[in-house]
Amino acid sequence: MAEFDVAVVGGGLMGSSAARHLAEAGMSTVVVAAPEPDDWALGVGPFASHYDSGRITRIISADPVWAELAVRSINRYDDIAERSGIAFHDPRGLAWLGIGIESAVNNSNDRGGTARMVDPEWLYNTTGIRMPTTPGMQCAMEDGPAGVINPRDLARAQLVLAEQAGATLIYAAADVVQPHTPPGASLSVTVGGPFGSITAKKALLATGAYAADLAGIDLQVRRQLRTTVRVDIGPAPEMPSLIIEPVEHPHINDLYWNPPVRYPDGRVLFKVGCEIENAPEAQGADEIAAWFAGQGDPVEEDALVQTTRNLLPDVDVNHWETVPCVITRTAHKYPYVGWVDDGLAVALGGNGSSAKSCDEIGRLASMLFTDGGWEDPVVGPEVFAPVVLG
Ligand SMILES: Cc1cc2nc3c(=O)[nH]c(=O)nc-3n(C[C@H](O)[C@H](O)[C@H](O)COP(=O)(O)OP(=O)(O)OC[C@H]3O[C@@H](n4cnc5c(N)ncnc54)[C@H](O)[C@@H]3O)c2cc1C
């Protein structure tokens, strides 16, 4: 007899969100959630994409699927925060700089967002952000609920609610996930680790950059090894989140930042990141661990610092640190949410955009385990179908 209806492996943003929805729908749920390594330099992992204190949240997007995932999630932030007692959302707004951004603004407005075109002088006078003189560049602002969320706190809030709804939490890394059908019995999935072994009727792998490796399934993912910069700019000015694309720099395509937020060590830091062509990729766990033990890429660091200085001419960008991270990209650029084997589904592949939308991604994943399955005219299962190699 399986002990649980569903075992969720991974307690990051997608796993914790799926676990909440599963447990609140009345399914007996166990979550096997690896804790964050105390010392990244010594840790073997697993590491995660949400090990940070800030992630941009916004409805505005050039892509209606991402806008839809975001607004559905954002609409539930207050409920999650209130019932868990964990605040994770700061609706301080977002500046969106780009070329041909009308459709992104419309995608916000169509879903109740407040995005609107603004004048570059207004932007500079109210935020200190100097729009580059790139031909054709425009500027939009989206007020709250756009802004910033604390991803560690959001995952924690989801796990609190999952546990309140009856889920069992195991804080350890799983080392095996094995679907099997013993003679005369029904299909079940065994999840093993330092805690021993548990069985569930079905399992959801929400293991981020580790994809479906635990189950020996080769998903088409790219695990990009990336670098961010955390800048100490002194007493934190009121500043919105920012996304700008393109950026006129030989090494980076775009740039984003989270406004200054407080980190666990008490410092208030401002985090900057970007997209680059041909980012290095990890093949597996050892290469991810080696990357997290290092200092990132100095070329990416230099590009981020120089571009930030140009965008914030009045701010003293003189003290910063680099932080390595990993982004998991899928073949179709949306998360993989779907079945990959009998009894085994995945919810992973954040593509650098899923923190704000994790609650809806987790809800969709939880629908896989219901009798009725998952139907949705806008974000149906076909959009998120996992691509398995071999
Ligand atoms: C630098 C950076 C900036 C980003 N900025 C934004 C942003 O501004 N806005 C936004 O919306 N998104 C952003 N993202 C994307 C967002 O953080 C990710 O999409 C999101 O974290 C993906 O969630 P996930 O649950 O799939 O993976 P993760 O958050 O990585 O969680 C996976 C979890 O699985 C666990 N795990 C792995 N293997 C095992 C195992 N064997 N046993 C148990 N547990 C296991 C890990 O410990 C981890 O907790 C950013 C990502 C990065 C890296």
Specify the residue with its C-alpha closest to ligand 1, atom 27.
Answer: 208
| H helix count then E strand count, the chain | 9, 20
Q: How far is the CA of 181 from the centre of ligand 1 (A)?
A: 31
Instruction: Report the separation in Å between the CA atom of 341 and the middle of ligand 1, taken as the mean of its atom positions.
Output: 23
State mean pLDDT over 362-367. 98
* CA–CA distances in Å: residue 275 to residues 74, 124, 216, 243, 303: 24, 24, 30, 11, 11
Residue showing tokens 């088409």:
220
The residue to mutate among 16, 17, 49, having the most atoms of ligand 1 within 8 angstroms of its beta carbon, is: 49
* Torsion angle defined by CA atoms of residues 55, 61, 65 and 71, in that order, rounded to the nearest 10 degrees: 60
Q: How far apart are CA 202 and CA 198, in angstroms?
A: 11
CB contact set of 372 (below 8 Å; sequence gap of 6+): none
Contacts for 377 with CB less than 8 Å, ≥ 6 apart: none
pLDDT reading at 198 higher than 90: yes
Average pLDDT, the chain: 95
344 alpha carbon – ligand 1 mean position (Å)? 20
CB 292 within 8 A of CB 47: yes
> Which DSSP helix (H) or strand (E) runs through 282?
strand 281-282
Q: Is 147 in the pocket of ligand 1 (CB under 6 A)?
A: no
Q: What is the pLDDT of residues 330-339, one digit of tens each?
A: 999 999 999 9
d(CA 386, CA 368): 13
Contacting residues for 108 by C-beta, under 8 A, at least 6 apart: 58, 59, 60, 61, 67, 114, 115, 142
List of residues 6+ apart from 265 with CB closer than 8 A: none
Atom of ligand 1 nearest to the CA of 357: 11
- How large is the average pLDDT for residues 282-306? 95
What pLDDT is recorded for position 2? 66
CA dihedral 43, 44, 47, 51 (to 10 degrees): 0
Shortest-distance atom of ligand 1 to CA 325:
53
Q: Is 259 in the pocket of ligand 1 (CB under 6 A)?
A: no
Q: Is the pLDDT of residue 27 over 90?
A: yes
Contacts of 276 (CB under 8 A, 6+ apart): 226, 251, 252, 253, 300, 303
DSSP 185-243: S--EEEEEETTEEEEEEEEEE--GGGTTGGGT--B-EEEEEEEEEEEE-SSPPP--EEE
Q: Could you tell me the distance, in angstroms and rounded to a whole number, from the CA of residue 159 to the centre of ligand 1?
A: 15
CA distance 387 to 390: 10
pLDDT at 184: 87
Q: Which amino acid is at 122?
A: W
Q: How confident is the model at residue 236 (pLDDT cuts 50, 70, 90)?
A: low
**174 within ligand 1 shell (Cβ under 6 A):** yes
Q: Is 240 in the pocket of ligand 1 (CB under 6 A)?
A: no
d(CA 115, CA 108): 6
Domain range list for the chain: 4-51+152-216+332-384, 90-147+221-330
pLDDT tens-digit series, residues 302-327: 999 999 999 999 998 889 999 999 99
pLDDT at position 235, please? 72
Q: How many residues does the chain have?
A: 390
pLDDT digit string, tens, across residues 246-286: 999 988 999 999 999 999 999 999 999 998 878 999 999 99
Element (H, E) at 199: strand 196-205
Check pLDDT > 70 for residue 8: yes
Burial per residue of 184-206, b for 16 or more beta-carbon CB atoms within 10 angstroms, e otherwise: eeeebbbbbbeeeebbbbbbbbb
Q: Give 26's contacts (C-beta < 8 A, 6+ positions apart).
A: none
Q: DSSP character for 140?
A: E
- DSSP letters, 55-72, are EEE-S--SSHHHHHHHHH
CB within 8 Å of 302: residues ≥ 6 apart: 251
Q: Longest Cα pair distance anywhere in the chain, in angstroms?
A: 73
Q: What is the CATH number of domain 90-147+221-330?
A: 3.30.9.10
Amino acid at site 114? T
Question: Is 44 a residue whose pLDDT tops 90?
Answer: no
In whole angstroms, give the CA distance from residue 350 to residue 335.
5
| Model pTM above 0.85 | yes
The CATH topology of domain 4-51+152-216+332-384 is: FAD/NAD(P)-binding domain (3.50.50)
- Is the beta carbon of 74 within 6 A of some atom in ligand 1? no
Say yes or no: CB of residue 356 within 6 Å of ligand 1. Answer: yes
Is residue 207 in contact with ligand 1, taking CB distance under 6 Å? yes
Distance 350 CA to ligand 1 centre (A): 7
pLDDT of residue 254: 95
CB 74 within 8 A of CB 123: no
How far does the centroid of ligand 1 lie from the alpha carbon of residue 376, in Å? Answer: 25
- Residue 12 CA, ligand 1 centroid: distance in Å: 6
Residue 181 has a CB neighbour count (10 Å cut-off) of 11
The two three-digit tokens of residue 287, written as one number: 């290469």
Rounded to 5°, the CA angle 182-184-186 comes to 65
- Write the single-letter amino acid at 111: R
Residue 209 CA, closest ligand 1 atom number: 30
Which ligand 1 atom is nearest residue 56's CA? Answer: 8
